[in-house]
Amino acid sequence: MRGNDKMDADDAATLVLPSVLDLKSVGGLHADLLAVRGRPLALDASQVSRLGGLGLQVLLAARTTWAADAQPFEVVNPSEDFTGALDLFGAPNLEPVAPEPDGQTATDPNSVDARELRS
């Protein structure tokens, strides 16, 4: 894997994000994420020096996917550049999305909140 995939007793994965998350790197990140889907995930953002819009989209999609799979998801050790970029994008954190009572996530395009926004 491109990121460091560390296994522990709980079968959790830790992926170290690349220093630049842009068009060139998201294909590899996507492949790494697919390889650990269904397991608890920690994304180590300590090396991130630049976060592009496409990189943010992949991270948001991963957060939503892990929530839908009812698996733990967290970003650990975020660099100042990473948190600064999140602030600039208006996405101050990548906290897990809590599933709604009906099992949908708040960012699910078929959720009540999203349907109301489309009306």
Measured distance CA(74)–CA(67) in Å, rounded = 11
Predicted confidence (pLDDT) per residue in 6-42, tens digit: 444 368 899 999 999 999 999 999 999 999 999 999 9
HEC-encoded secondary structure of 89-107: HCCCCCCCCCECCCCCECC
Q: What angle do CA 97, 20, 27 make, to 5 degrees?
A: 70
CATH code given to domain 13-118:
3.30.750.24
At 56, is the pLDDT very low, low, confident or very high (cuts 50, 70, 90)?
very high
Enter the pTM of the model. Answer: 0.73
Residue 9 CB-half CA count within 13 A = 0
How much is the pLDDT for 92?
74
- Residue 63 pLDDT greater than 50, yes or no: yes
* Average pLDDT value over all residues in the chain: 80
Across residues 94-112, what is the average pLDDT? 54
